[in-house]
Structure formats: structure tokens, C-alpha cells
């Protein structure tokens, strides 16, 4: 049983990377083999709209025809039992590299069947026939962001992110869940940077008291995923 985590942050050992590491440690505690992929190490682009993945009788039908560093990663994900993605929020969305990764992961496995596009954003119950991913796997998204939880909710960003990514992942790959980690510690030393907008004492308190709790939630998510796969 294999659990793959994909880190969409350029910083390998900061908030997102740490949470993903915890998630994989949770999966390992239940006997899973794990792999952490840092996509900023890879050379690749997002979908180029060549539609080779949808060409009738095409040799790349159902697979991304682009050949770059993401190609073997996408193949390994086809073999995995669970996929946990993590990304910081950059200007209101997941990072550009994570977005490009999602395009390449999801689009080749999505079939334009009659009726499918109309259902895309309307219902969580999708016809399985609109996905040609070879099996159903468990998926999760861990988001990290500088804003606090109240502001995230006020802006509706949690709902927005869920409505896009969770919905698409559930449709194409399998059951999906989200973990939102807010008010993250952003700088190694706040005094070195222009950062008057932040209450640094509050940030420090959250770092010491709440972040470990978020890491525990990530650990439990990984353990739960690995257990579900084992119990199948």
C-alpha cells in the first residue's frame, strides 16, 4: 500500500512541507510505503491543450502526452493507493506549480461524456464514467495560509477551495478531504522584514500552540488514509 504526498510549496521544510511530512509519518505508522515529492524540484509545465489524452484511438488516450519531469510522477500516482497534496495559498489560490500539476493529473483522466460538463460544478455525485482513472484512491488537500481562520471564513476561501479542488478530485480520483491551516508563521525572524501588519506575539503563540495541533491532524489524516486502504 503506497501513499504519495505532493508538496506545492517552494520551501521544503516550512509549513506545508512539515504538515505533509506528518501526514506521511501517520501513514507509515499504519504500515504504508510513502513518498514525498517536492514539485518545485521538477521541470514541467501545465496542460498545453493538445488534447492527445482525448484523441479517439490515440496512443496517449487517458494519459498526458507531455514528456517532462512530471511524467514519471503521474505514472507513480496511477499505482498509488492515496494521494495527499499540500500547497500554500499564493494570492488567493494554490501555487502556480500546484495548479499546473493538478491540470496534468486531472484533465487526461476526465472524459467529455454527454452530460458530464453540465454536472461539473453542480453536484458532488458524479457519474463514474466521466473518470477513466484506473481505480478509486483516497485524496486530500492541505492548504496553508497567512490569514487567520476568521478572515478565511469571512472571505469564503475555504468554501471556494473545497468547491473547486475537492469536487474535481472526488470526481476524477476518489473520495477527497481538505485541511485548512491558517495564520502560519511566514518568516524565520519577523524583525528582519517589513511586517507591521502582523501581531508577531500572536503569530508566535499560534506557532507554538496551534501548529502542533495542525500537525497532529495531518498525522491522523495520513494514518486514517493508510488504515482505510488496508481495510479495503
Residues that bind ligand FMN (CB under 6 A): 9, 11, 14-17, 88-92, 144-147, 184, 186
Residue with Cβ nearer ligand FMN (19 or 173): 19
Residue with Cβ nearer ligand FMN (6 or 137): 6
φ/ψ of 127, rounded to 5, equals -70, 130
Distance of CA 213 to the CA centre of its chain: 20
Question: In what helix (H) or strand (E) does residue 2 lie, and over which residues does it extend?
Answer: strand 2-7
- Shortest Cβ 144–ligand FMN spacing (Å): 3
The DSSP call for residue 39 is G
- Shortest Cβ 181–ligand FMN spacing (Å): 7
- Shortest Cβ 51–ligand FMN spacing (Å): 32
- Shortest Cβ 7–ligand FMN spacing (Å): 8
Residue with Cβ nearer ligand FMN (64 or 161): 161
In 70-199, alpha helices (H): 70-79, 96-106, 116-119, 149-155, 157-161, 167-172
CA angle 50–51–57, rounded 5-degree value: 130
- Shortest Cβ 46–ligand FMN spacing (Å): 18
Residue 216: CB atoms within 10 A of its CB come to 12
Residue with Cβ nearer ligand FMN (12 or 136): 12
Residue with Cβ nearer ligand FMN (44 or 157): 157
The DSSP call for residue 62 is T
Amino acid at each position: 500500500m503506497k501513499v504519495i504526498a505532493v508538496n506545492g510549496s517552494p520551501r521544503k521544510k516550512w509549513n506545508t512541507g512539515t504538515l505533509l511530512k506528518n501526514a506521511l509519518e501517520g501513514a507509515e505508522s499504519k504500515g504504508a510505503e510513502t513518498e514525498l515529492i517536492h514539485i518545485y524540484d521538477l521541470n514541467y509545465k501545465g496542460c498545453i491543450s493538445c488534447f492527445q489524452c482525448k484523441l479517439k484511438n490515440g496512443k496517449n488516450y487517458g494519459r498526458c502526452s507531455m514528456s517532462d519531469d512530471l511524467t514519471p510522477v503521474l505514472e507513480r500516482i496511477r499505482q498509488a493507493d492515496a494521494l495527499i497534496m499540500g500547497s500554500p495559498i499564493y494570492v488567493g489560490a494554490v501555487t502556480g506549480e500546484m495548479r499546473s500539476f493538478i491540470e496534468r493529473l486531472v484533465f487526461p483522466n476526465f472524459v467529455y461524456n454527454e452530460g458530464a460538463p453540465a454536472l461539473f460544478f453542480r453536484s458532488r455525485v458524479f457519474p463514474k464514467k466521466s473518470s477513466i482513472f484506473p481505480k478509486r484512491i483516497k485524496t486530500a488537500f492541505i492548504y496553508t495560509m497567512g490569514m487567520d481562520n476568521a478572515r478565511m471564513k469571512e472571505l469564503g476561501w475555504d468554501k471556494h477551495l473545497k468547491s473547486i479542488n475537492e469536487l474535481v478530485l472526488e470526481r476524477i480520483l476518489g473520495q477527497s478531504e481538505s485541511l485548512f491551516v491558517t495564520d502560519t508563521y511566514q518568516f524565520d525572524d519577523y524583525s528582519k522584514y517589513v511586517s507591521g501588519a502582523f501581531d508577531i506575539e500572536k503569530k508566535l503563540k499560534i506557532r507554538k500552540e496551534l501548529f502542533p495541533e495542525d500537525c497532529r491532524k495531518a498525522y491522523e489524516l495520513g494514518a486514517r488514509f493508510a488504515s482505510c486502504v488496508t481495510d479495503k
